[in-house]
Amino acid sequence: MSILKNFLFGFVTMGANYGSINASNALPGRAEALKGISEVHAFNGNRMFPPFPEGTKSATFGMGCFWGVERSFWKIKGVYSTHAGYAGGYTKNPTYQETCTGATGHAEVVRVIFDPEQVKYSALLKNFWENHNPTTKDRQGNDTGPMYRSAIYCEDETDLELAKKSAEKYQQNLSDRGIRGEISTEIKLDNVFYYAEDYHQQYLHKNPGGYCSMRGTGVKCTL
């Protein structure tokens, strides 16, 4: 997976200024959502599409390749459903191949549907910070490019404030352990999410020996 992604990324956007991608020059995408995505979560059997149970909330995280990221969240008690997808960019209903070019502006993400009565948003943030390296801009392990950026896309202003405070706290945790890298995580209010193709959904449940690039810093997040 890593080799394919990096090939596509380099082939299509070689020499491009990725920071110049905006709503006017991003790939146009399409009006219709991608089809053929299962309505049932392969790991826990819950719904993949709305409506979700009353009282649940959503949180969206970018931590590199979404395969391992999704697995790290579906294991958490109180998480109802997880969805691999694309967010943070401009192209409507992008495909995997389009996102790999860097010309959609999107990051690979996982949307988490959770019950705040069973698991706090802070617990999801803790999982986020501890299971990837937020100081490596546009890169996680061997996967490079803006689609692999560290990102938190929040459902509401309350979660946005908590996410920003958690970044400050984790930056202090890193400094206390002698890690000087600056957190590059994109944190913003953004509810726009596009599902990835069906074969990406719960990939590591369907393919237990599949590729996973998740590597944390080894530093605990003391929220």
pLDDT computed for residue 1 by the predictor: 47
193 occurs within a structural domain: yes
User: What value, to the nearest 5°, has the Cα angle with vertex 195 and ends 55 and 84?
Assistant: 80
- 153 has a pLDDT exceeding 90: yes
Amino acid 74 reads W
186 occurs within a structural domain: yes
* Six token digits for residue 153: 């896309």
Beta partners for residue 143, in sequence order:
140
The CATH number for 170's domain is: 3.30.1060.10
- How far is the CA of 157 from the CAs of 117, 128, 203, in angstroms? 19, 19, 32
**Residues 132, 72 contacting (CB under 8 angstroms):** no
* Six token digits for residue 210: 């599949």
Give this prediction's pTM. Answer: 0.92
What is the per-residue pLDDT across 94-140, written as a single tens digit (0 to 9) for each?
999 999 999 999 999 999 999 999 999 999 999 999 999 999 999 99
187 occurs within a structural domain: yes
Point out the least confidently predicted range of 12-21, 56-65, 123-132: 12-21
26 occurs within a structural domain: no
* Strand 194-195 versus strand 143-144 pairing type: unpaired
**Residues 106, 91 contacting (CB under 8 angstroms):** yes
34 occurs within a structural domain: no
* Number of Cα atoms under 13 Å in the Cβ half of residue 123: 16
pLDDT computed for residue 18 by the predictor: 55
Number of Cβ within 10 Å of residue 59's Cβ equals 22
189 occurs within a structural domain: yes
* Six token digits for residue 179: 């890690």
- 180 has a pLDDT exceeding 60: yes
215 occurs within a structural domain: no
DSSP-derived secondary structure letter, 65:
S
Q: Residue 8: which pLDDT band, with cuts at 50, 70 and 90?
A: very low
Question: b vs e for 181-209, b when ≥16 Cβ sit within 10 Å of the residue's Cβ?
Answer: eebebbbeebeebbbbebebbbbbbeeee
Q: Is 65 labeled as catalytic in the residue annotation?
A: yes
Instruction: Tell me how far the alpha carbon of residue 190 is from its chain's centroid.
Output: 12
Total domains present in the chain: 1
* Six token digits for residue 55: 């009282």
Q: Which domain holds residue 46?
A: 2-9+39-206
33 occurs within a structural domain: no
Choosing from 65, 100, 154, 221, the catalytic residue is 65
Residue 14 makes CB contacts below 8 A (sequence gap 6+) with none
